[in-house]
Amino acid sequence: MSYTSKRALVSMGVGFLLLAAYALYAFGEASPAMDDLKSWAVVLLVYVVACIAVGIVIQIVFHLALAVGISANEKNCDSKKVERIIKSSMVEDERDKLINLKSANISYQFAGLGFVAGLVALAAGTSEVVALHIMAGAFAFGSIVEGCVIVFLNERGVQNG
């Protein structure tokens, strides 16, 4: 499995865990009232900041674990060779750029559909908090789908067009 696929799988796993943690909070007794839009906006802002911070920490830990794993596999090599192996696995070529463009496009489509679905929910008379959650959920789901597409295209191949 490629470096990019492993990185995407780690990000997806963390995304699932963070989404599950948010769902547990949102459906729990400690959550704000459903009509308190300001409190829910603060909760979502804190969640977004926490997701960014956790994502950064997890990627750092992932890269450290990757370096340790490569070092363990290359027991008879010096540190310079291990460093070259790590750097070569992280190089982004045209194929990786194409995969990232295709996966980001799909993610943006989910975000756009979620935004429209939130507006439709508001127009239908649902709560503003429900519409907010529809939009936020679409962004989260789009991010997870983006990771799936990255893994799929990296492992199966990508065609132009």
Tens of pLDDT, residue by residue over 102-157, are 999 999 999 999 999 999 999 999 999 999 999 999 999 999 999 999 999 988 87
80 phi, psi to nearest 5 deg: -65, -40
Distance CA 57, CA 72 (A): 22
pLDDT of 39 higher than 70? yes
Tens of pLDDT, residue by residue over 65-90, are 888 887 777 777 777 777 777 777 77
Distances (CA, A) of 141 to 28, 107, 135, 157: 21, 8, 10, 23
pLDDT of 48 higher than 60? yes
What pTM, to 2 d.p., does this model score?
0.79
